[in-house]
């Protein structure tokens, strides 16, 4: 049996797409190799959101080149966002690559392999008309009780720093019937937690045919009514499209978790304008207050960029202040990275690297302090935890996540996939520690 190994870079959408790549390969009769050395086919599912993933990929591809020189029969495939962004140059840059495909044309890998690499175009990308939902391919899930569910592909926003619209194309919503049918099938297979995925989930449904045009709140309600689904998550919503029907669905649907990831990007209205985010600082803060007012105990996490072109010390301080004002439960912080072909990359007032570095260190410090204080408020409380398995650092301890999406390491005897109550005993900025309630009672 031939064997494959998939390397995944980037976001949850790529994690989802990789499960489809694996499903497709297994349908073709290939088996998974735990290590790259043992694989006949090596797939890189790539990301190009910042320069760092590009550099990591370059290092992996340099290794792949050496492997290919020693063992020319090995097949090297490059898919995902980097492949799409570099479609014109990919085979020039990396002539040893056998097959390439964009995020919208994963099935090309199957066609190419099915035809033994003969008579099929080397690359086929897919931001054009021929894009297809990865969700329509078979999947091989990482965990039996959790699943990604794709609700849309592409993005219609024009954020001036972001490469995603160029590599994933315009937004297309999946039909509600197909999404719900998939969730029903997943529930039947034992899935308890679904994460609905789209580049901007809150604009889902608006592009559908008039007869079935709908909005994301309705989808949350439909998924909530599926028996066996205990937890519903979604990512990412764009603050500009977070309307009341979604907030009320979140408040009323039992399975929808008390967490939302709401990318702020900058606390300065002036910078937000140049980013083309179409909301200002005040509107974001009001939205956060409204969400917290409607959903008790809501956890709010965010993405922040420092060093966007033209960002002054004053703009930066407004981001720091916004973190404190909103009280984020967590934040991913990024140094602005110019991406070829985006509007911001051509802006004249780029910020020097040392200034960016200094600002991100200050920001991380504040984010950690605020998140720690938020997590500290959970100490002494019981939290429902979905058990994922043993802790990564200590095998004798279990790990899982709360409904608020915080990782918990705890003492207990529960099995992966079980929902248990955990008494929280201590907190850091990123994790909680505790003991399974049944364990406490028994002791």
Please give the radius of gyration of the chain, using alpha carbons only, rounded to the nearest integer.
Answer: 22
Per-residue mark of binding to ligand 5AD, 160-189 (x: CB under 6 A): -xx---------------------------
Assess 124 for contact with ligand 5AD (CB under 6 A): no
Distance CA 412, CA 434 (A): 9
Q: Which of 46, 200, 202, 265 binds ligand 5AD (CB under 6 A)?
A: 265
The two beta strands, 231-235 and 193-197, are: parallel
Cα–Cα nearest to 175, from 143, 212, 201, 203: 212
Q: Which of 3, 7, 11, 228 binds ligand SF4 (CB under 6 A)?
A: 11
Q: Nearer to ligand 5AD by C-beta: 24 or 163?
A: 163
Cβ atoms of 332 and 236 within 8 Å: the answer is: no
Q: Which of 4, 5, 13, 215 binds ligand SF4 (CB under 6 A)?
A: 13
Per-residue mark of binding to ligand SF4, 44-73 (x: CB under 6 A): ---xxx------------------------
Assess 305 for contact with ligand SF4 (CB under 6 A): no
Per-residue mark of binding to ligand SF4, 116-155 (x: CB under 6 A): ----------------------------------------
Assess 9 for contact with ligand 5AD (CB under 6 A): no
Report DSSP state, residue 175. P
CB of 339 to ligand 5AD, least distance (A): 5
The region of 41-49, 125-133, 282-290, 426-434 touching ligand SF4 under the rule CB under 6 A is 41-49
Assess 343 for contact with ligand 5AD (CB under 6 A): no
Report DSSP state, residue 37. G
Residues contacting residue 183 through CB under 8 Å, at least 6 positions apart: 149, 194, 223, 226, 229
Distance CA 206, CA 220 (A): 15
Q: Which of 4, 14, 226, 436 binds ligand SF4 (CB under 6 A)?
A: 14
Mapped to the 3 state alphabet, what secondary structure does 304-360 carry? EEECCCCCCHHHHHHHHHHHHHHCCCEEEEEECCCCCCCCHHHCCCCCCHHHHHHHH
The region of 32-40, 142-150, 318-326, 333-341 touching ligand 5AD under the rule CB under 6 A is 333-341
Assess 81 for contact with ligand SF4 (CB under 6 A): yes
Assess 43 for contact with ligand SF4 (CB under 6 A): no
For 17, 80, 193, 323, the CA distances from 258, given in Å and listed in that order, are 26, 31, 13, 19
């Amino acid at each position: 049996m031939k064997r494959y190994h998939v390397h995944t870079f980037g976001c949850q959408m790529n994690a989802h797409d990789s499960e489809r790549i694996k499903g497709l390969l297994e349908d073709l009769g290939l088996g998974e190799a735990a290590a790259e050395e043992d694989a006949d086919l090596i797939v890189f599912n790539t990301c190009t959101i910042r320069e760092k993933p590009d550099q990591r990929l370059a290092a992996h591809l340099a290794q792949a080149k050496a492997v290919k020189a020693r063992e020319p029969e090995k097949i090297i495939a490059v898919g995902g966002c980097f492949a799409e962004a570099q479609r014109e140059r990919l085979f020039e840059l990396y002539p040893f690559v056998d097959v390439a495909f964009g995020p919208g044309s994963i099935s090309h890998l199957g066609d190419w392999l099915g035809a033994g690499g003969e008579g099929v175009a080397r690359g086929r990308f897919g931001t054009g008309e021929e894009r297809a939902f990865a969700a329509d391919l078979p999947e091989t899930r990482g965990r039996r009780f959790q699943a990604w569910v794709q609700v849309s592909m592409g993005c219609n926003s024009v954020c001036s720093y972001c490469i995603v619209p160029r590599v994933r194309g315009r937004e297309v919503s999946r039909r509600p019937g197909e999404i719900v049918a998939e969730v029903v099938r997943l529930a039947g297979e034992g899935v308890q937690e679904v994460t609905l995925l789209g580049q901007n989930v809150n604009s889902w449904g608006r592009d559908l045919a008039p007869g079935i045009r709908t909005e994301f709140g309705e989808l949350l309600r439909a998924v909530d009514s599926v028996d066996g689904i205990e937890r519903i998550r979604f990512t990412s919503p764009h603050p500009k499209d977070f309307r009341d029907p979604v907030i009320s669905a979140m408040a009323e649907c039992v399975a929808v978790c008390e967490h939302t990831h709401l990318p702020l990007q900058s606390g300065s209205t002036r910078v937000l304008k140049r980013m083309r985010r179409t909301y200002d600082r005040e509107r974001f803060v009001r939205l956060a207050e409204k969400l917290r007012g409607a959903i008790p105990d809501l956890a709010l996490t965010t993405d922040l960029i420092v060093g966007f072109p033209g960002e002054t010390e004053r703009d930066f301080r407004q981001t720091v202040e916004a973190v404190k004002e909103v009280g984020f439960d967590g934040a991913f912080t990024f140094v602005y990275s110019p991406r070829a072909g985006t509007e911001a990359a051509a802006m004249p007032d780029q910020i020097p690297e040392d200034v960016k570095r200094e600002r991100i260190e200050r920001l991380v410090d504040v984010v950690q302090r605020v998140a720690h204080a938020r997590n500290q408020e959970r100490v002494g409380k019981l939290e429902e935890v979905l058990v994922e398995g043993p802790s990564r650092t200590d095998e004798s301890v279990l790990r899982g996540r709360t409904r608020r999406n915080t990782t918990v390491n705890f003492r207990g005897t529960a099995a992966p996939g079980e929902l248990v109550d955990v008494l929280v005993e201590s907190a850091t900025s990123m994790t909680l520690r505790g003991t399974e309630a049944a364990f406490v009672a028994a002791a």
